[in-house]
Structures are given as structure tokens and as C-alpha cells.
Amino acid sequence: MRSRHALIVGDGESGPVRLEVWEYAVGGKNVLKSWFNYRKAEPGGNRTSPLDDIHTDQWDPDWSSELLDVLSVLTRLVAHEPRQAQTLNRVLVGDVFTMAELRAAGVQWPTTKADRKPRMPLCNANDADTFDFGGQ
């Protein structure tokens, strides 16, 4: 029998879902299992306030589109892994510069708290929801 690679949730089904997408983890934590864990009838995770005990006992329709978004992002991340590995390899085998060489090239490191502050505002003063990337 042939495998469908489908993700089945209740009466719904999404697929195909590659095994690498289902197993995708960040920091040792499986992304999809964690996503589902917070949406179960008895959600997992840390309990930090009484608000954590308030949850729905049925599938929220918005979760269907969220799930598709998560699957889409994870599928794209898995697809980019070979290029990411190539990039990492180029970095690892590339030249390593000493601090003296970087300093000679004009690199400066912050030495005070003032040096660490942004030199331009992150937000456009006219629109607090828009980032100002200096005309880029």
C-alpha cells in the first residue's frame, strides 16, 4: 500500500506533507507537535497565570489557515536546507580574519553604551507601524 503523507486532523486532511516537514524542529522542539500542543482540548506548555486555563474545547476555524501557513513555511524551510548547507559550508571553509586584520581594515567595536545605541530611528516618525530602513 502506498503512503499518502497526509496530515489528518479530525475530519480535515492536509497533504502531501513531507516527513521532513513533520519532523522539523527548532532548538530540539518539533514545530508542528508544539503548534498542536497549544491547541488541544488540554493545552500543554507552562502555566503562568489563570488565563492559561481558558481555552476552547473545539477547533477554531482560524487554526485551519494558520496550520496551512505553518506547513507552507516549514515546507519552504526544508526546501532551502540544501542551499543553507552550501552557504554554511562556504562560511566554514572561508578565510578567518583576526581582530587585528579587521581593525586595520577600519572595523570599530563599541566601547561604551552610547556606541551600542542605534544611530538612526527604527521607526519613521510619521508612521509608527512602518520601519525606516534608510530609503532601502
Does the pLDDT value for residue 136 go beyond 60? no
Give dist(CA 101, CA 48) in Å, integer. 49
The model's pTM: 0.63
Q: Does the residue 62 lie in any domain? A: yes
Q: Is residue 63 part of a domain?
A: yes
Count up the domains in the chain and report the number.
1
Would residue 4 count as lying in a domain?
A: no
C-alpha 28/C-alpha 7 separation (Å) is 21
- Give me the domain span that covers residue 55: 11-131
**pLDDT tens for residues 2-30?**
567 888 888 888 888 999 999 999 999 99
Distance between CA 115 and CA 117 in Å, rounded?
6
Q: What is the pLDDT of residues 20-57, one digit of tens each?
A: 999 999 999 999 999 988 887 777 777 788 887 777 77
Answer yes or no: is 5 within a domain. Answer: no
